[in-house]
Amino acid sequence: MDGVEHLYLNRRPVKQRTLKTEIDCKGVALHSGNKVTMTLCPADVDTGIVFRRTDIAGLRAEIPARWDNVTDTRLCSVIGNDEGIKVSTIEHVMAALSGCGIDNAYVDVNGPEVPIMDGSSEPFVFLIECAGIIEQQASRQVIRVLKSVVVSDGESMASLSPAENFSVDMAIVYDCAVVGRQSVQLDIINGAFISELARARTFGFLHEVDAMRAAGLARGGSLDNAVIISGDGIMNEDGLRFENEFVRHKALDAVGDMYLAGGQVIGAFSGVRSGHALNNKLLHALFADPSAWCYATISAHDEKAFQTGKAQRDHEQRSVAVNG
């Protein structure tokens, strides 16, 4: 655990980070049902996150995890390259890499889909913790949001606004008593992703699962890797991990999708009924407007000022709560 613990000593990463050593896992692919091996590997500075299909030889098997390489957003986020090589269901491992502050890594997978594991990011966080984290001799480059960008599709909306750190504000509405209206707001700093979002699992409705299987999808789906809703009840014997696990998972997805910006976003994400398609549309809108963003680095001086201001704001909020 030491490799991650030092990362959250009341500060944000200033230097780029990668893994100390490579580590692998095996699991089932959600849609194909095939057994898959995935390996997280260290990478040099400025590499970013790059997926590599180990079942395909040569450089053509490499796919940088970026918004402009997203080829499909139905049910999951899929990335591909000009050679037609693809990797799907990447959002949960991307969220783990983002939440653990990993800037550079290779994600090797011996098939076209990342293993679903338990349907959350927690197994991938565990892998990162076991591998350990090292700082690299280069400043961390972030994408700073300079002005608000908003996209919508019917009743769904997603936006990015200027802020001093990355935060997620997500709301969902389902015509279902088990889910109903849920919301969550979280600053993704100081280990908050690991403690508040990483364990939230993907979910689905039984009638949708049946329809997907009839279409050749969700062949690897089970109660071991998803929360399944049937009528007004949950089929999983162990119940929910959080009272609002459904919206927390949507927020987890947003963390993973926003990391496809090609670096950590410094801005406030807000979503209402937002999913992978709208999240990617938001990044397209952001980068289409050069005045809406810029590359920046966080210096030790900037971080000290941020933490001083954060401590003052936390004190003021506690005072208001106490004094009413």
Residue with tokens 């991938």: 124
User: DSSP for 230-291?
Assistant: ETTEE--TT--SSTTHHHHHHHHHHHHHHGGGSSEEESEEEEES--HHHHHHHHHHHHH-GG
Q: Are strands 233-234 and 149-153 parallel, antiparallel or unpaired?
A: unpaired
Distance of alpha carbon 174 from alpha carbon 179, whole angstroms: 6
Distance of alpha carbon 7 from alpha carbon 135, whole angstroms: 9
Q: Contacts from 183-191 at CB under 8 Å and sequence distance 24+?
A: 183/244, 183/247, 184/244, 184/247, 184/248, 184/251, 186/251, 188/98, 188/99, 188/255, 189/12, 189/165, 190/8, 190/10, 190/11, 191/7, 191/8
Q: Are 133 and 100 in contact (CB under 8 A)?
A: yes
Which amino acid, 40?
L
In 3D, which of 119, 114, 95 has the Cα closest to residue 37? 114
Neighbour-count burial of 239, counting CB atoms closer than 10 A to its CB (0-12 exposed, 13-18 middle, 19+ buried): exposed
Q: How wide is the angle at C-alpha 22 spanned by C-alphas 295 and 88, nearest 5°?
A: 65
Query: Please, which residues have CB within 8 angstroms of residue 144's CB and are 6 or more apart in sequence?
Result: 162, 266, 267, 293, 294, 295, 296
Structure tokens at 9: 């000593």
6 catalytic residue (yes or no)? no
Which residue out of 92, 276, 284, 315 is catalytically annotated?
A: 276
Three-class secondary structure of residue 315 per DSSP: helix
Q: Which residues are catalytic?
A: 276
